[in-house]
Amino acid sequence: MKKTRVDRKFSELKKSGEKGFIAYLGAGDPTLEDTVDIVLRLEDAGVDVVELGLPFSDPLADGRVNQEAAARALEAGSTFDGVMECVAKIRERSGIPMIFYAYMNPLLSRGFDKSMVAAAQAGIDGFLLLDLPFEEAGPYRQALKQNNLNAIQLITPTSPDERVEKIVKRASGFIYCVSREGVTGVQDKLAEGAGALVDRIKEKTDYPVALGFGIGTPEQARDAAQLADAVVVGSAIVQKFHNNPHTPEGRADAAAFVAEMVKAVKAV
């Protein structure tokens, strides 16, 4: 498998001694056209990787903020093909690494292999498949590999060591470390066991480990960056762009909020 933009970005970060910043965004929220603009603004804010949520009607791993973002995207008419066109438009103007945060149903309903081909052609670098059990992932992981797409793997606080070892052996790109039990959403503080979980993962793999779920302030982002190779921020960014006016000024203010978190991560 050739190196993806994600692989190359993490290699660059390692060489420079920098921590990575991954920003989550619901594709199609508020519209697909707006998504193009927001991704470009995130890149300008210093974001290293963009994680695009593929809209789905039943996002069971997500809290209220990201559930509502998916609902808004679907109400605005976002479709699988529309999201692919959106990614292609971003690719006309940017080489920022992008992965899909996705559930299996929309991919299986149109044919998983067909979905992977379309995503790769649009310019996506990998997938984080939220509801695909490790034990059933073999054939799907092969389709990802055939299309030169990273298979980003999730590891949670409830994952025993033996399972962690199996998961990291089949991963590519980076490991997504879920900082706490439960769904996405901003929390008051970083989960107490997050550092220990990152250490457990890093004992078993050389892949970068990104810490996410619950991070919403520059202080929390900084604390997470001290534990892991990269930090993932989602709900706080989604909410900021949603609450701000959908104007150039409103978008600039939301992007400045992201830039402050990026700055905190890069200072570690």
Q: Choose, from 7, 29, 48, 62, the residue flagged as catalytic.
A: 62
Q: Among 110-119, 171-180, 219-228, whose mean pLDDT is lowest?
A: 171-180
Which tokens belong to 119? Answer: 């995503």
Mean pLDDT of 187-214: 87
- CATH number of this structure's domain 5-266: 3.20.20.70
Would you say 184 and 133 are in contact if contact means Cβ atoms under 8 Å apart? no
Secondary-structure breakdown of the chain: helix, strand, coil percentages, each rounded to the nearest 5: 50, 15, 35
Q: What was the pLDDT predicted at 179?
A: 81
Question: Quick one: which of 208, 219, 91 has its CA closest to 152?
Answer: 208
Q: What was the pLDDT predicted at 191?
A: 64
Average predicted confidence (pLDDT) for the chain: 94
The pTM score is 0.96
Mean pLDDT of 129-140: 92
CB atoms within 10 A of CB 218: 18
Q: What was the pLDDT predicted at 237?
A: 97
Does the structure show a pLDDT above 60 at 185? no
Pairing of strands 175-178, 126-129: unpaired
- Assess whether 192 carries a catalytic annotation: no
- Say how far apart CA 218 and CA 194 lie, in whole Å: 17
Domain locations in the chain as residue ranges: 5-266
Q: Choose, from 43, 51, 125, 223, the residue flagged as catalytic.
A: 51
Q: Which residue has the higher pLDDT, 9 or 60?
A: 9
Does the structure show a pLDDT above 90 at 171? yes
Would you say 167 and 138 are in contact if contact means Cβ atoms under 8 Å apart? no
Does the structure show a pLDDT above 90 at 213? no
In the block, tokens 């190779």 appear at 229
Q: What was the pLDDT predicted at 134?
A: 86
Q: Quick one: what percent of the chain has pLDDT higher than 70?
A: 96
Q: What was the pLDDT predicted at 180?
A: 58
Does the structure show a pLDDT above 80 at 186? no
- Assess whether 51 carries a catalytic annotation: yes
Q: How many residues does the chain have?
A: 268
- The model's confidence at residue 7, banded by pLDDT at 50, 70 and 90, is very high
Does the structure show a pLDDT above 80 at 236? yes
Does the structure show a pLDDT above 90 at 63? no
Long-range contacts of 149-154 (CB under 8 A, 24+ apart): 149/4, 149/116, 149/119, 149/120, 149/124, 149/125, 150/4, 150/6, 150/7, 150/99, 150/125, 150/126, 150/174, 151/126, 151/127, 152/99, 152/126, 152/127, 152/128, 152/176, 154/128, 154/130, 154/178
